Amino acid sequence: MRHFYFLLGWCSFGLGAVGAVVPGLPTVPLMLVALWAFSRSSRRFHDWLYNHALFGPPLRDWHVHRVIPLRAKVLSVVMMAISLGYMGFFAEVPPWVIGITALVMAGGAAYILGQPSAPPIEPVPQSAGASDGKGLKVDQEPRT
């Protein structure tokens, strides 16, 4: 079974790498599948992909903060709308199939749009008695 996951990891990685240069082919979701498959088959390749200079940062952002970048959100929703529009106007698909597809896409879009677009900003720790730049200590109330 490890060989299956290893092959799945490389196929997903390959498609994701192509998606980095081909518009409309998702990169990060395919890299997430590759990362998951490598976690079941090869610790070495899992760690390599997780720490990769290009693909690693979005994978780590997803793993740690469940972040989907705004660009990826927009591209995902636009591609869903284009696909649904194509189905509705150009493909000969029964209306019930279009309806089910629209519901599934709406659910996917709602999930994607519901995730944060950037990691949370870490508060800067202030030392005891730090000044706010106006001569007041941070925990001191101004005099009136």
- In angstroms, the CA 67 to CA 53 distance is 18
Q: Is 68 in contact with 61 (CB distance < 8 Å)?
A: no
Task: Give the model confidence (pLDDT) of 71-99 as tens digits.
Answer: 888 888 998 999 999 999 999 999 999 99
Would you tell me how many other CB atoms lie within 10 Å of the CB of residue 137? 12
The H-or-E segment that residue 113 falls in is helix 95-114
The total of other beta-carbon atoms located within 10 Å of residue 37's CB is 24
pTM flag (> 0.75): no
State yes or no: pLDDT of 144 exceeds 80.
no
pLDDT digits 0-9 by tens, 121-143: 877 676 555 555 555 454 555 55
Whether residue 7 contacts residue 40, with contact meaning beta carbons closer than 8 Å, is answered with no
